[in-house]
Every structure is written in structure tokens, then in C-alpha cells.
A and B are shown apart, each in its own frame.
Chain A
């Protein structure tokens, strides 16, 4: 009799647990849930169609020459107003990824907002740079381009399969200043090096603008898991950053946990300060779901999907104790 009671109690307990999980996942995920969050953050959801963008690799070619060559091929290019070497493709008779110019590394296909982070560093020439989550390598190539193939880039990625794509990009674009390692960004201190510049293009939840299935696939649990991972990577990055070095932190997520809330945490926990940057995007939010954040978080840039995909970016430095 007692045994029966115990089994019944246990069963009830399990059922309650699973109903709880089901309700949690149901209520804390889905299109409506996320759209309501964005509304609360001050943005009204709209469907967008992303324009394909390219970036001219000026280590391999003169920008004007390449633009002219592509126009001769019948490609209609539109200069992206907030980028130096970026163009939107308004019209093309053939695949942008199959021209001789692409295969010769004269340009790369890179979404407009994704072209922003690497440009935020001050002076890259001859520096030692860490690209902590590098694959598939679009930003690594851009860094090498900005460095004019000087100095050195150490590019890491945790997934070996993705390193092949990264290596192909480096070969195609004639990058010569980069070393690639199959390593988790959270183990960067194994190199026993101090880096002048660190690009943290974080693994993140992404956003609906680049993934039609995004709302169906993502739950708040994914966001929380990424938030934890991003914080761990930030901790390691601070360990290997030289005293006057710079970190550029970027995600293509719209979720504040992976953006403003992480940066607020970094300011308070890792003694980092947010630098003012001048780039496309809105000032980041300093009040998130009734939580007041450090005022300097507004120096970050939040990009809601419109002309580009959703994005978040900021530049961080260590607090100078001498001041």
C-alpha cells in the first residue's frame, strides 16, 4: 500500500515536472514571445529582405578597378554609405560567388553589418591580433586586409570542420599573416601571449533576418546558454589582452542577455570600459526590462534589422589604473 502511494507520488512529480518544462518552453519561446520582447525594448518587428553585400579586398586589388570590372560583368553595385569598402549587389546576372574576381580573392561576400566590427580597432598594422571565434573567416580576411598582411593574426575555432572553410578563405584571398588553430576561445591563454587587439565575434543565437526558421528553432534557454558561453570567452579574452589593448565584441543576436547585459556585467566584473565608437547603428539600451545598466553601455551600438541583419557591437578596453 505504502509502495503504491510512493509510486503515485513519484509519477505525479514527474508529470508536473514535464508539464512545467513544456509550459516554460512554450511560453518562453516562439515568434510572439520574442516579438513582444523586442517591443518591450522599443522596436517594432518588421519582416526584411536582406540585400547581398560584398567587401573589396584591397590587399589584392584597387577598389575602383574591381568595381569597374564587376560592373562590366553586368553587376549593379550600390556603395554602402556607412562602410569603406562595402557594396550592396542590387542586380547580378550570375552568382556573386562564382566570378573569377571572387575566386581570385579580389572581393569577399560579407553581410553589411558583419563588415563593421573589424573596422572599429584603432591602428591594426603590425599588431598581434586574436580572432577568437574565427570560422568561417570573413572577418579574419577583413582583419588581414586592414593590416595589409603585416603583424600576425591568431585565428581560433573550436570546430575542426569549420577550419577547412576558414583555410580556403585565407588561401583564396592570399592572406599570409595568419595562423589557424583548432582551439576553444576559452583556452586562448595557452599561447602565453598578450594580444594588442582581440576580435570576439561571439557564438550567438543569431537573428531572424538571416534564418527563416529562427523563431521556431530558438528558445530563451539557447539565449541563456550563449550568454554564459560569451561571458566565459570574455573572461579569457581579458586574461590575454595587453594593458593598452582593445577588444571588439560583436554578436548577430538581438537578445539583450547576449549584448547589453553581458557588457554591463563585463564593466562591473572584469574592469573593462566601453569606448566611444562611430559607426552605423543606434546607441545601445541602458534600461533592459526595468533593469538600469551602467550609462557607458550606451556607447555600444545596437543594430535592429532593416538595411542589414540584426547586430550588436562595441569596443572595450581595460580600465587604466594609473588614471
Chain B
């Protein structure tokens, strides 16, 4: 629970999650609703909304959690269509691809990456102050929705 809250705070955001409805299964966290909470059995494989997992002491968020954060006041940058495509292919973001900045512009901070429809594509770390930056790599990609495709390929 604490690990999730700390992660959300990285984006200058906060979300309230009902502790009773969060289930931990090995290293993975799930958020249930009241109906599922009543029905769930210990040996489930997946339940409700997947929030993320801890691996080697590090928290890896799910895209559900990123979408939840994106609905709040949080650091976000909106990118153009070409940058959106490059980002979901696993590339970093150049300054010229950024259409709008919401929240922090400071180097070292984390930000959600949004497309022009307001949908969350993933997140990254700001590499240089966005006010000053020339046309260099502005945001380093950490996670993007192209991951679903990579997972499919891994499963063969």
C-alpha cells in the first residue's frame, strides 16, 4: 500500500485507495470492488484491477494505475501523433514532440505521457528543465503501452 502511494506521489499526485479492497498476491497488487471482495478465493490468479508488482524491491505500475493517476492533478505532458507512435515503440521523447506540459517541468521529476485525446500512454523521467531545453531528449521513457505487444511476442 505504502509503495503504491509513494509511486503516485512521484507525479505530484495523490489518490485515495481503500486499503480493505487491496489484495496482495505474491509480488502483485490488485484493487477489488465490494462485489469481488466477497467472492474472491485465496488461490486467484488475477482479480479486479491490477495495480502493479514489486520486483527486486522496485515498484512496477500497471497501466490501470497510470490511468488512475492521469485522472488526477498530476505531472503530464501531451505529445503529438508522431511522438506518440515513437514512444509506444519504446523511444524517448524529444522537446519538439511535446504539445503541452501540465505540472512539473523540472529535471529529475516523473511525468505521465498523454496523447492528444487525453489517454495515458505511459510515463517517463524529465531529463532537462523543459522550459530551457533546446531540441534534445526531454523525457526518458520508462514504461509505455507498447509493453502489451512485447508481452504478446514473448509468449509467442
Contact A177 B63 (CB under 8 A): no
Q: Roughly how many angstroms separate A128 CA and B84 CA in the complex, as a whole number?
A: 39
Contact B148 A103 (CB under 8 A): yes
Q: Roughly how many angstroms separate A166 CA and B148 CA in the complex, as a whole number?
A: 12
B16 at the interface (CB under 8 A from A): no
How many residues on A have C-beta within 8 angstroms of the other chain's C-beta atoms?
Answer: 31
Minimum CB distance partner of B151 in chain A:
A168
Contact A177 B43 (CB under 8 A): no
Distance (whole angstroms) from the CB of A175 to the closest CB of chain B: 8
* Interface 0/1 of A147-187, CB less than 8 Å to B: 00001101000001101111110111010111111100000
Known contacts A172-B63, A174-B64, A179-B36, A100 near B46 by CB under 8 Å: no
Distance (whole angstroms) from the CB of A65 to the closest CB of chain B: 8
Known contacts A100-B115, A103-B88, A103-B145, A165 near B152 by CB under 8 Å: yes
Contact B115 A179 (CB under 8 A): no
Contacts of A164 in B (CB 8 A): 151, 155
Contacts of B50 in A (CB 8 A): 167, 170-171
Q: Is the interface of B mostly helix, strand, loop or mixed?
A: mixed
Minimum CB distance partner of A165 in chain B:
B155
Contacts of A152 in B (CB 8 A): 35-36, 39
How many residues on B have C-beta within 8 angstroms of the other chain's C-beta atoms?
Answer: 33
Known contacts A98-B149, A176-B33, A193 near B39 by CB under 8 Å: yes
* Interface 0/1 of B19-53, CB less than 8 Å to A: 00000000000010101100111011111111000
Known contacts A100-B85, A165-B152, A193-B39, A178 near B121 by CB under 8 Å: no
Q: Roughly how many angstroms separate A167 CA and B46 CA in the complex, as a whole number?
A: 7
Q: Roughly how many angstroms separate A154 CA and B117 CA in the complex, as a whole number?
A: 33
Q: Roughly how many angstroms separate A204 CA and B36 CA in the complex, as a whole number?
A: 30
Q: Roughly how many angstroms separate A100 CA and B144 CA in the complex, as a whole number?
A: 10
Extra 20 A-B pairs, beta carbons < 8 Å, given A100-B115, A179-B40: A100-B119, A100-B145, A152-B36, A152-B39, A167-B50, A168-B148, A168-B151, A172-B63, A172-B148, A174-B64, A176-B31, A176-B33, A176-B48, A176-B64, A178-B47, A178-B48, A179-B36, A179-B48, A182-B43, A182-B45
Q: Can you identify 8 A-B contacts, CB atoms within 8 angstroms?
A: A69-B117, A100-B84, A171-B63, A176-B49, A176-B64, A179-B39, A181-B45, A191-B41
